[in-house]
Amino acid sequence: MDLEGEAEFLVEGSDDGFGIVLRPVVTVLRDGAWTYTAEDIESIERGLCDLREGRERVMTEAELRAMAEVAQE
């Protein structure tokens, strides 16, 4: 798992009922929570759901830079 330092996890029961699933979580302090709009939180939740369901794409740095250039136009 390559964990360093402290880590927080959400503990869930496994689907078969015989184990547990540890899901890493990120805690946002109340002081910083105002920076996230409802749309931001929804977008993050959609992304996490995609990852959990195996919908992911690995991109090269060049592909990311090309996307950033299109977004700036």
Question: Tens-of-pLDDT digits for all 73 residues of the chain?
Answer: 677 778 888 899 988 889 999 888 877 777 767 777 888 888 889 989 998 898 888 889 999 888 888 877 7
Written as six digits, the tokens of 19 are: 């184990």
Write down the pTM of the prediction.
0.39
Contact 20, 13 (CB under 8 A): yes
CA distances from 16 to 11, 31, 51 (A): 15, 39, 21
CA 29 from centre of chain: 17
